[in-house]
């Protein structure tokens, strides 16, 4: 089954009682049992809910995986993975990653004696240097947030084979439409469903997908025990959003390319970070493991002046200055003061998150309007 067909049909069945073509919103906390231990597969909605089940099956199918689990947020999904570890374990992570992930790692799980190594993953050598018998998780984000670096998933998986470490890929920026990490050997895929999968800036949710039965058992145990699950209404909204994921991602990619080219030629722009450019260091890898280059890009300004960046993000009229990404509307943000404020300044600057860096989530509006908006904001 091709992607667009799976996006619409995977996990979704007509309602048995009414024939409704759309998955009902099972707005219930509990389920009547015929007698003790005899029920229709559902006992309590923290553990299972029919609307959530349909979504979990749908997302798993999109990632060519077997088991899917949804959570109350992307960070709740990451939290589930970290709870699979034990004190004394070590994690190797990309050093260019979402600030919330960095905060979760360093302020929550470090105090439980889990050690984190943040390394550049443009090549696999840095991972090899930190890999040892205590390494239990390699955390990959690609494309990275906000520098849009590309990590070679297959190369990282090959390195991990010499250890007992799981490889987990945050696939939020690429989505399953552009990239399928499980097909490249990863053990787990994570999504901030809030972003492209929901696609309409009206839901907060996370998801994990795996084909490993042992990992899945632990994933479901933690999901049920910790209880960070989404409600049925949110699951319904994401199921609806996913039905147009392939169509939206095509437009995100088209618009992203047009804006990247415009910005690269602008005299006030110093650098543009977008993997579609042939001179991007990860271009060849992106071309190999992705079906397109996405709608996320970042750029810095000549002179690296923070106030100048503030002026640009304030002057836009079509773009909205806001946290998050992946919605149909275009968003603009200043990582240093917004999404990556949790990362210490010296760590940010090591990886290129400078004061004038601006991140764009390019939406599905008319590209000409978006270009004109940036043109007047940069004037």
- What amino acid positions are annotated as catalytic residues? 46, 98, 170, 195
For the four alpha carbons of 153, 155, 157 and 163, in that order, the dihedral sign comes to negative
What is the DSSP secondary-structure string of 98-167?
-HHHHHIIIIIIGGGT-EEEEE--SSSHHHHHH--TTEEEEEEESS-TTT-----HHHHHHHHTTSS-EE
The 3-state DSSP class for residue 92 equals: strand
**Whole-angstrom Cα distance, residue 120 to residue 142?**
12
Using left for φ > 0, alpha for ψ between -120 and 50, and beta otherwise, residue 316 falls in beta
Comparing CA positions, the residue from 178, 171, 240, 209 lying closest to residue 70 is 209
Comparing CA positions, the residue from 332, 312, 315, 314 lying closest to residue 324 is 332
What is the DSSP secondary-structure string of 273-299?
E-TTSTTSTTHHHHHHH-SS--SEEEE
Q: How far from each other are the two terminal CA atoms of the chain, in whole angstroms? A: 48
Angle, helices 74-82 vs 213-226, to 10°: value is 120
Burial 179-210 (b: 16+ CB within 10 A, else e): bbbbbbbbbbbbbbbbbbbbbebebbbbbbbb
């Amino acid at each position: 089954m091709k992607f667009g067909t799976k996006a619409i049909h995977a996990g979704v069945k007509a309602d048995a009682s009414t024939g409704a073509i759309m998955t009902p919103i099972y707005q219930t906390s509990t389920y009547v049992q015929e007698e003790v231990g005899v029920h229709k597969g559902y006992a309590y909605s923290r553990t299972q809910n029919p609307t959530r089940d349909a979504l979990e099956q749908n997302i798993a199918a999109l990632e060519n995986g077997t088991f899917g689990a949804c959570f109350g947020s992307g960070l709740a999904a990451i939290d589930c993975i970290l709870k699979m570890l034990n004190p004394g374990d070590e994690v190797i992570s990309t050093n260019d990653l979402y600030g919330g992930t960095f905060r979760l790692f360093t302020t929550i799980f470090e105090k439980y004696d889990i050690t984190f190594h943040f390394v550049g993953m443009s090549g696999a050598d840095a991972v090899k240097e930190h890999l040892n018998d205590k390494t239990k998780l390699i955390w990959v984000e690609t494309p990275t947030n906000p520098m849009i670096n590309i990590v070679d998933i297959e190369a990282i998986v090959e390195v991990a084979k010499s250890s007992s470490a799981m490889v987990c890929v945050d696939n939020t920026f690429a989505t399953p439409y552009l990239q399928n990490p499980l097909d490249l050997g990863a053990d787990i895929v994570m999504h901030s469903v809030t972003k492209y999968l929901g696609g309409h800036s009206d839901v907060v949710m996370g998801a994990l997908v795996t084909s490993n039965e042992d990992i899945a058992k632990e994933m479901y145990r933690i999901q049920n025990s910790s209880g960070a699950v989404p409600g049925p209404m949110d699951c319904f909204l994401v199921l609806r959003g996913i039905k147009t994921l392939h169509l939206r991602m095509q437009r995100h990619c088209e618009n992203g390319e047009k804006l990247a080219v415009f910005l690269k030629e602008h005299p006030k722009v110093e650098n543009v970070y977008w993997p579609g450019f042939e001179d991007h260091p990860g271009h060849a890898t992106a071309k190999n493991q992705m079906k397109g280059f996405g709608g996320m890009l970042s750029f810095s300004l000549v002179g690296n002046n923070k106030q100048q960046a503030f002026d640009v993000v304030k002057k836009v009229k079509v773009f909205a200055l806001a946290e998050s990404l992946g919605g149909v509307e275009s968003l603009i943000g200043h990582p240093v003061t917004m999404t990556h404020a949790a990362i210490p300044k010296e760590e940010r600057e090591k990886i290129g998150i400078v004061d004038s860096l601006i991140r764009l989530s390019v939406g599905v509006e008319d590209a000409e309007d978006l270009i004109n908006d940036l043109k007047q904001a940069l004037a």
